[in-house]
Structure 1
Amino acid sequence: MTVADARAALARVRGLSVVDAVAKLRLGPGRTCEPVARVLDQALANAARAGLSPGQLIVAGGSATPAEPIVRVRRKAHGKADWISSETADVRVELQPAGAYEAAAVPVPVEAADEPALDSAPADARSVPVREALYDVLDPDLGVNVVDLGFVRGVTVDEHDIATLTMTLTSPACPLTGIMEDQIRTALLEDPGIVADFRVVWVWSPSWRPSDISDDGREQLRAIGFSTL
């Protein structure tokens, strides 16, 4: 595979989910590229070992640079031979969680760039019980609730009694989104249910910072031996 072929393949699948990108490079339509598909296969395997969901990963970019050529012997008639040199490429891919990729495509206003996007708007009456229930949702690693940790950036409840929670975590690579959503489901929907249903919108820009932790959250962390800013 030449460097030009690898770069063209990466350009064709940029912005696709990794699963879709592998299918396109392996099966078409259009020109296929099995070597880059195999690189993405390996990236998927690495992501799975890190606890990331393959279906939520996007091909955000990549690079291809010249690598050591493959040199082999070509046999000719009458016992003669010569050498064949084949160009190869060192291919690297950049994967991002879908939420991080989408957020990166949306410009952040200058005035918001240095401030955490916390839910500063006045809460309507329907969102208050939802927010209160989220105090029962704990970060499994820290043992502190998601509200005091600053993970809850917004809560709204629509006319159909469906709550939309805008949330973040310490990193887009954090593998706890599924665990958090299970806890939220228990807190909001178990009898007696607070809302009819909910959805979580995970956002990563601006990124979470220790300054997002509430005073109560800092006290809880200090009590279990953490040093907070």
Structure 2
Amino acid sequence: MWAELRAHGPLGPMHPADAEDVAAVARETMRRAARHVDRIAEALPSLGISGRPGLPPRRRPDAVERAEVDALAAEIGGLPAALEACLREIGHTWFAGDYSALRIGCPHGAPVQGGPPGPAYPDPLCLPDAARLRWEWDLRTADPERRAEEQGFVFDFAPDEYHKAGVSGAAHTIVLPDRRADPVLRGVAGRPGVTLVEYLRASVAWGGFPGWEFGAEPVPDALRALRAVPDF
């Protein structure tokens, strides 16, 4: 189904019934993805997690956040169906941190060698919530010079592989508004042109740490236990 939707490219004005069909596919996709994200999040404490203080691995969206998604979609000029459903059904996800059982992290501040993609920069899954999109959109709309310079609104969807590893970096971004059902996620190392749904599938397939797909070394047993075949 997603391959067919992507083949259409940007979606023009649709009949309400067709628009609802696309939205329904996106919602079901993200509900299934959310179950995998929850499963991985529940397992992280057993892996010696040391994440950002006060930042939980998961926080499910509530009714207030879903209403905020509606408001943002109207203000921005529409959101891609996959992104809108991700904000509604998955929401805040932050798997970045140090994990002793996965051999992830920089002990004693030691620099990470090389660069992404690969296990040294495992790209732990991080997903935004509606509050993040609201914050970035308000910053952009409050700055006339920024609005004039930008071609579209560049949403910093998540930190890039460097930032997730505690090294100065950039971001994975989505340019909005975007009339495609499944937007391209720019700046993902080793995955040029990857879409949001494709990225989530890779993340689930690699237990929330898709950078391991590019590694030659054996996968740790703890990570192998988190992996699953995506059902979305």
Shorter-normalised TM range: under 0.3
Structure with a larger share of its residues in strand: 1
Normalised TM-score (structure 2): 0.25
Q: Normalised by the size of structure 1, how large is the TM-score?
A: 0.25
The structure whose RCO (Cα within 8 Å, separation 6+) is larger is 2
Whichever of the two has the greater Rg, that structure is 1
